Structure 1
Amino acid sequence: MSSNQWLATGNFFTAYKQEQRTFFTHLDRSVFSLFLALLLIWPMVFPLSNKYMLVIDSTLIAIVAVMGLNLVTGFAGLISIGHAAFVGVGAYTVAALCRVLGDSHGLVTHFWPIVILAGGLVGAVFGAVVGLPALRLKHLYLAIATLSFQMIFEWTINFMTFFNQGQTIFVGRVFWFTGKVMRREHYQFWYYVTLVVIILSGFGIRNLMKTRYGRCLIAVRDNDRAADAMGMHPGFTKVYAFALAGFMAGMAGALHAYLYRGVGFESFTLHHSISYLAMAIVGGLGTLNGSFWGPVAIQFLELQVEHFSGFAGEYLPSSMNLATALRPLTFGLVIVLFLMFEPRGIANWWRIVKSYTKKWPFRY
């Protein structure tokens, strides 16, 4: 590596250990630390209303879910159209505990970190089971298999009395060191919890991709036969890719249950699976930072469409029902435009900006 650890240019590695570092320069580490400090401090300096904090918390939970989807679809190249069902598995794990033990039981309210991990583990088990068809199916056929899991999940929730036939199952308020988390600090509390989950998951995925198991995901995505010839196990790789995606989705579902203090069927439909897939595409498949850009961009787009619909509704007749028509129109249009003009997503814009800043003032 270059002797200047602050503004090093080029990849001058002299050992594999240098290449495996998370931050290549001190400048990268400093910028990340500053950005992380801003994320931790701003809610206390600029407090927002519960309405906007709920939007931010929902975006962070979507980031956790999309990180899992990016593992299976972006890095492993396996199409999944039932990701919302995995999120629902994690949420209904919390709901099942509330049905059996009660929504105010100590396990639910005091040991909620264990419950969130349990939601992730249950999601991982279902992910591994759904990943078994990947041993013999590819492409469109695998997409249909994941879609069937989405349909089975919806049918099960809607017709089982244990899950209240899809109606809301309430979750009690959690306790922290300072006591019960009440309504006025509820959304800020879950902001910090979800942010910690994102940071730990991000570092975990970043380190995973440096190991042989992470490289197996990329090798199987590029050519599973060549990966098999090189001594990798494509079947095992595909199954644990689905298991990892299910684990991330399960944790996102458990966080969703605690944030909304309830679990309802309407939050885990096929529409939400398509939304997660769109977030991954817009953010950038096969990139870690794309898992952050995609949910933020889609949530921002939905807010702007909602505001524009409310503004236009004041001047247009109510029979046009602009709010209902404009949301799916803009949603589909954004996906098509990204697939046509920027298939690598917003993450590619971020890569260009970073490359420019490192090479400035040179033009190459």
Structure 2
Amino acid sequence: MSANRWLSTGNYFTSYKEEQRIFATHLDRSVLLCFLAVLFAWPLLFEVSNKQMFVIDNIMIAMIAVVGLNLVTGFAGLISIGHAAFVGIGAYTIASFARLLGDTHMVLTHGWPALIVLAGFMGALFGAIAGLPAFRLKHLYLAIATLSFQMIFQWTINFMDFFDQGQTISVGRVFWVTGRVGRSDHYLFWYYVILVIIVLVGFGVRNLLRTKYGRCLVAVRDNDRAADAMGMHPGLTKVYAFALAGFLAGVAGALHAYLYRGVGIESFTLHHSINYLAMAIVGGLGTLSGSFWGPLAIKVLDMQVERLSEWTGGHLAVATNLATALKPLSFGLIIVLFLMFEPRGIANWWRIVRSYVKLWPFRY
């Protein structure tokens, strides 16, 4: 790497430590810090409605969940069709405390940071359990095993009285240093909480991928027999990939419970598992940035298609059936198009833009 860490060009490294740096140049670090400063400052500078902030919070929670799914599917190469179940486990961890202690108990309202971490560990526990079939199964068979876990989760919630048979379980408002978070500040407060968690998760996963444990995930994905011959344990690697994915999904589920101030089974169905998988595919499997681009793209697409469906149903009476079919049609079409024409997802577009900016005005 060039001695000038601000505008270095090329990929010349003299040590593995240089190659594994998070930021190749000081310019990269400065741009990221400025971007984070903008993310933290803009809600204070511009007026944002509760509805808009609610949508943004949902997108950010999906980002945390998709980072976990990308660890197990993108980096470890294991198809998971039950990721919404792990998110639901995190949410129902919070709901369990609400049922046992009451939705306004001090543990829920004041100890929410500890409960979010606990929900993550519960997701990791069940993620490891769901990943145990990876010792003997792979590919389609493992995908069916994760689908079975999703079905078991839904059945358990729907038929247990403790979880109110899938009906909404209320969760109280939390307290912060300034006191109880009111209705007008609810979504803004959780925006900052979720944003801090995203930053921590992003740096945590980026550093994980630099370690031997992160390289084990990629090695097992590429060739598990070769990884086994090099001293890695493919089975244990797959299980801890599921555990990591479950932890992040559990955290996302806990944030969902607090954001919605309630937990219901309709938010953690098979449809949502497919939705998470689509976000990972569209964003770019095996890329950290793709875990952020995918949820943003899918959520924005859903909103635009929903508006188009409302307009179509209101102005064209004969097109009512078309309006109903627009959302699933666009959802399936976008996945097929990305798989056919851009299998590396939006993250590849981001890579091309960065390379162009870095090399401009040279072509190569």
Q: TM-score, normalised on structure 2?
A: 0.99
Q: Specify the alignment match of 1:340 in structure 2.
A: 340
Aligned-partner Cα distance in 1 for 2:314–2:249: 39
Following superposition, the deviation at residue 318 of structure 1 comes to 6.4
After TM superposition, list the pairs within 5 Å mapping 1:65-214 onto structure 2: 65-214=65-214
Q: Which amino acid aligns with 2:354?
A: K
Does the 8 Å contact 2:313/2:319 carry over to 1? Answer: no
Counterpart residue number, 1:34: 34
Which residues of 2 match residues 261-340 of structure 1 at below 5 A?
Answer: 261-317=261-317, 320-340=320-340
Between the aligned partners of 2:71 and 2:318, the Cα distance in structure 1 is 43
2: CA distance between counterparts of 1:67 and 1:156? 26
The amino acid across from 2:281 in the alignment is I
Task: Give the 3-state SS of the residue equivalent to 1:79 in structure 2.
Answer: coil
SS of match in other structure, 1:281: helix
**Which stretches in structure 1 are left out of the alignment for 5+ residues?**
none
The residue type equivalent to 2:153 in the other structure is F
| Separation (CA, whole Å) in 2 of partners of 1:202 and 1:281 | 18
Please state whether the residue corresponding to 2:184 is helix, strand or coil.
helix
Residue 221, structure 1, aligned to residue 221, structure 2: yes
Shift of 1:309: 1.4
Q: Deviations over 1:67-112 (max 9, x none)?
A: 0000000000000000000000000000000000111111100010
> Hey, what's the Cα distance between the residues in 2 that align with 1:206 and 1:216?
14
Q: Distance in 2 between matches of 1:315 and 1:235?
A: 56
Q: For the Cα contact (< 8 Å) 2:312–2:320, is it kept in 1?
A: no
Deviation, 1:65, is: 0.2
Once residues 348 and 43 of structure 2 are traced to their aligned partners in structure 1, the CA distance between those partners, rounded to angstroms, is 29
Q: Which residue of 2 aligns with 1:55?
A: 55
Kindly state the Cα deviation for residue 47 of structure 1 after the two structures are TM-superposed: 2.2
> For the Cα contact (< 8 Å) 2:312–2:319, is it kept in 1?
no
Deviation (angstroms), 1:357: 1.0
Asked whether the equivalents of residues 94 and 119 of structure 2 are also in contact (C-alpha less than 8 Å), the reply is yes
Q: Quick one: distance in 1 between partners of 2:44 and 2:318? A: 41
Kindly provide the CA deviation profile for residues 298-348 of structure 1, in whole angstroms up to 9, marking residues without a partner as x: 011011101111222222116724432110000000000000000000000
Opposite residue 213 of structure 2, the aligned amino acid is Y
Report deviation, 1:21.
Answer: 1.6
2:248 maps to 248
Return the letter of the residue paired with 1:281: I
Unmatched segments (≥5 aa) in structure 2: none
Moved more, 2-11 or 161-170: 2-11
How far, CA to CA, are the matches of 1:111 and 1:74 in structure 2?
A: 34
Distance in 1 between residues matched to 2:207 and 2:271, nearest whole Å: 32
TM-score scaled to structure 1, two decimals?
Answer: 0.99
SS across alignment from 2:122: helix
Q: Distance in 1 between matches of 2:73 and 2:15?
A: 32
Q: Give the match's secondary structure for 1:314.
A: helix
Q: Secondary structure at the match of 2:287?
A: coil
Deviation at 1:115, TM superposition (A): 0.3
CA contact (8 A) 2:73 2:79 kept: yes
Cα distance in 1, alignment partners of residues 168 and 48 from structure 2 = 27
Letter paired with 1:229: A
The structural deviation recorded for 1:33 is 0.6
Output the CA distance in 1 between the equivalents of 2:103 and 2:158: 21
Tell me how far apart the structure 2 counterparts of residues 317 and 298 of structure 1 sit (CA, whole Å).
28
| Percent of pairs with identical residues | 74
Change (3 A) 1:322 1:183: farther
Q: Is 2:80–2:143's contact at 8 Å kept on the other side of the alignment?
A: yes
